[in-house]
Amino acid sequence: MPSVIGIDIAKHTFDIATCQANGKYRTKAKLANREAGFEALQQWLLKHSEPQA
Q: What tens digit of pLDDT does each residue of 1-24 get?
A: 568 999 999 999 999 999 888 989
pLDDT in the model for residue 51: 82
What are the boundaries of each domain within the chain?
Answer: 5-48
Question: Please, what's the b/e burial string for 17-51 (b: 16 or more CB within 10 A of its CB; e: otherwise)?
Answer: ebeeeeeeeeebeebeeeeebeeebeebbeebeee
Quickly state the pLDDT bin for 50 (edges 50, 70, 90): confident
3-state secondary structure of 18: strand
User: Looking at this protein, which amino acid is placed at residue 20?
Assistant: Q
